[in-house]
Amino acid sequence: MPPARRESEPLPVHYAIYREQRLVISTALGRLTFAEVKEHQNQLLNDPEFNPEFNQLLDLSAVTDMDLSIDEAKMAARRRMFSPASRRAILASRPAIYGMGRLLGAHHELAEGSSQVGIFYDLPSALEWLGLDSLPR
């Protein structure tokens, strides 16, 4: 069992909502668990600034490990968060995380009313797919 996080350590998942760009940027780091993914989803859904019509950049480039079973990945991916018109770009830097992104994307696309998902190794390609020239400031 991994050690508990200390309060001074950064949160494993955080997000920012950019209303003008109609974008949610979710950033994860370190070892990511199913409980943390679920908590992030709950936080977004309860945030009054969140709009399911927005696009999402899910930045997993600093994630070192994803501690999710196949069933947990399926549950997380099939939870309806964004509209079918939304685009969700998953950014990964490690092959194992990229592979998990592909698994999440495949399960997500099997869900009714799913948004579009793209998986990328580089930020410029992810931004281009989202129709952005750069990250919002």
- Per-domain residue ranges of the chain: 13-129
Place of tokens 């799913």: 114
pLDDT in tens, 70-109: 899 889 988 989 999 999 999 999 999 999 999 888 888 8
**Tokens linked to 63:** 């994630």
Alpha-helical runs (H) found in the chain: 34-46, 70-78, 95-110, 123-129
Could you tell me the pTM of the whole model? 0.88
DSSP letter, residue 119 = E
Burial letters for 64-82: b for 16+ Cβ neighbours within 10 Å, e otherwise? eebebeeebbbebbeeebb
CATH number assigned to the domain covering 13-129: 3.30.750.24
- Residue-level pLDDT at 78: 87
CB of 26 within 8 A of CB of 15? yes
